Amino acid sequence: MAVSDTLIDTLFDRRYRIVRKLGAGGMANVYLAEDQELGRRVAIKILNDRHANDDQFVERFRREAKNAAGLSHPNIVSVYDRGEAEGTYYIAMEHLDGRSLKELIVARGPAPIPVAIDYARQILAALRFAHRNGIVHRDIKPHNVLVDGEGRLKVTDFGIARAGASTQMTEVGSIIGTAQYLSPEQARGAPVDQRSDLYSLGIVLYELLTGTVPFGGDAPVEIAMKHLSSTPTPPSAKRAEIPRELDLVVMRALAKDPARRYATAEEMDSDLERISRGASVSNQTNDAATAIIAEASAMPTTISRAPARAPAAPTARPQALRQAEIAYEYAEPVSRRRPFWPWLLALALLVAAGAAGWYVYDQIQEQLDETRPAAVPFVEGVRKPLALRAIREAGFEPRVQYRFDDEVPVGFVIEQQPDAGDRIERGNIVMITASYGRERVRVPSLRGRSATDAAAALASVGLKDRIVEVNSAEDDGTVTAQDPKPGQKVPKNTVVRINVSKGPRPIGVPSVIGQTYESASGALQAQNFAVARRDVDSDQPEGLVVEQSPSPGSFVPRGSSVTLGVSKGPTTVGVPDVTSLDRESARDALLGSGFKVRTEFEDTDDPSLENVVLSQDPPASSEAEPGTRVTIVVGRFVGIETDVPATTEPPPTSTEPPPTSTGESTVPLPRPALP
């Protein structure tokens, strides 16, 4: 199988984290999974290899899964998603905490009658909605009905059943459970409609009421033949408290001819609703079911319908549950007759004489038959025990040989010799060849091997491989798990799933910028990262992380190394003495030492101080960080104007020009008023 417990804790289709296996069937396995996108739990049904490789099946599966996804109803399990992944197909659906109706019946036996009616009506509500949307379930059975703790039912597997309708009915293991609930038209391979679902629901209701299905057998073919030809015993014959009205509903639903069944889910639900409130079923149901019951000889052939009664008082027990009254209403009147024991005595004598004569005739006939050739019965495709019994009953001696066969299930007859219909003398040997099933080989141990070696090992014993890459702490490219397990015997050509490591699962790198190195290192190591340190120049305080690689938010394998850039702390340099230098020389000296320059002007009447630095701030020989702005005051010669009278007007103001591209800015100082 392609899917198994090797899926546990893997990310399926890059979205669903598989938690655990919920169950398995002939067509698919079901897992509990967590939807990583929507944060909810879902049930994922994943097709097995046999169906995933059938193009016709896959196409029907896709189409019906799409239809099922559109069914939104309180009694139908919601389908959330469908898709293809890892070489197979899947459906993601609503997950319910509960168990199947089949599990409930097995655990508790027959349901109380009101509960059985309520359960059937809930299933009918789901079918009514599906049928109105043009979808026939085709696989109604208690296994496909989930029950929660509050008694709410939800029908599942819409569409899967339709897609699976083309599978062979003799497929052992995967169809025998369904065969017990097949409608006659399904058993014949004929087209089906909504009435087929109602037949299957009739079987489910029968099982709810009695704890057993009406038809059983060792092989699906045997069960199917009973659906086609046998009339079921009414449920009340197995459980006396079942009211007759409920018998009528079940027997009409189980009519062999679809035309005699309920035409719609609404019609069947209407009868169950009548029973639940103490009323009689419809005339159509009474007539159809009475005829079927008469055919089964479980009730009198002539059954008169009781006249309608006035509605019961609200506090009265429902009419359908008053068993004694129902039995009385449908019982035949007892008439007075003459003594009949003489007739019985005469009849007994006649029977005895007839039996004696028949015995003598039978003995003579048996002796004659033993000398006559008889036809060999047809036993191909039948289980070996049934074939042996049929051969012996025909008067022949069976012999059995075995061989492997890829098509015929184990234990079934592949061929016979002589052929069926050949006439040979009784007592001769009839040889049958029974199937061992597909040839089985032992699965080799693959863990720890490379993917290439593992595939070669499987091919050498006739098995196929399916490689799935998974995150693991083991070396890249090595096998971490397999299914089936080593040593297990499986049929040839079975697909073995092998999980191959692609390294540890990536995890996100947290941001530690701005933390101290000690704090950042501890946080990373707690998440299994290795830490490397690199000291870098920075104006941040010493010891703080100012950069990291890989960058925050990156996803890397667990155990990867993260390099932290740690600040050396700010550095200071001495401020050069630029006083008495001309403006250009002072500027060059300061810029060369890593400082920025701010220039201010001060008027002077000394021509020798024109364009000469008069002062600076910070002062010479002080310590400052690179990039600090140093302000220099430059002299500006203005002369003395003796002819100009003094003025009291304020000097003109000036604004600071923007910094130049060289890192120098100039600000003129206000001119002093002349005397």
Active site residues: 139
Cβ distance 34 to 8 under 8 Å?
no
Q: How far apart are CA 332 and CA 286, in angstroms?
A: 17
DSSP letter at 674 equals P
Q: How far apart are CA 246 and CA 12, in angstroms?
A: 47
Residue 149 CB-half CA count within 13 A: 1
Cβ distance 145 to 100 under 8 Å?
yes
Closest to 219 in 3D by CA, of 341, 362, 350, 382: 382
DSSP letter at 316 equals S
Whether omega before 110 lies within 30 degrees of 0, making that bond cis, reads no
Closest to 412 in 3D by CA, of 168, 188, 171: 171
Closest to 513 in 3D by CA, of 549, 557, 478: 549
Helix/strand/coil for 560: coil
Q: How far apart are CA 416 and CA 402, in angstroms?
A: 11
Q: In residues, how long is the chain?
A: 675
The first and second tokens of residue 526, run together, are 């707690």
User: Which H or E run contains 247?
Assistant: helix 244-253
Ranges of beta strands (E only) in 71-228 are 79-85, 88-94, 99-100, 145-147, 153-155
Helices (H), 400-554: 451-460, 517-526
Which DSSP string do the residues of 391-443 spell out, in sequence order?
A: HHHTT-EEEEEEE--SSSPTTBEEEEESPTT-EEETT-EEEEEEE--S-EEEP
- In the block, residue with structure tokens 């509050």: 150
Which residues is 636 bridged to in the sheet?
603
Burial of 255 (0-12, 13-18, 19+ CB in 10 A): buried
Q: What's the one-letter identity of residue 418?
A: P
DSSP letter at 190 equals -
Cβ distance 444 to 490 under 8 Å?
no
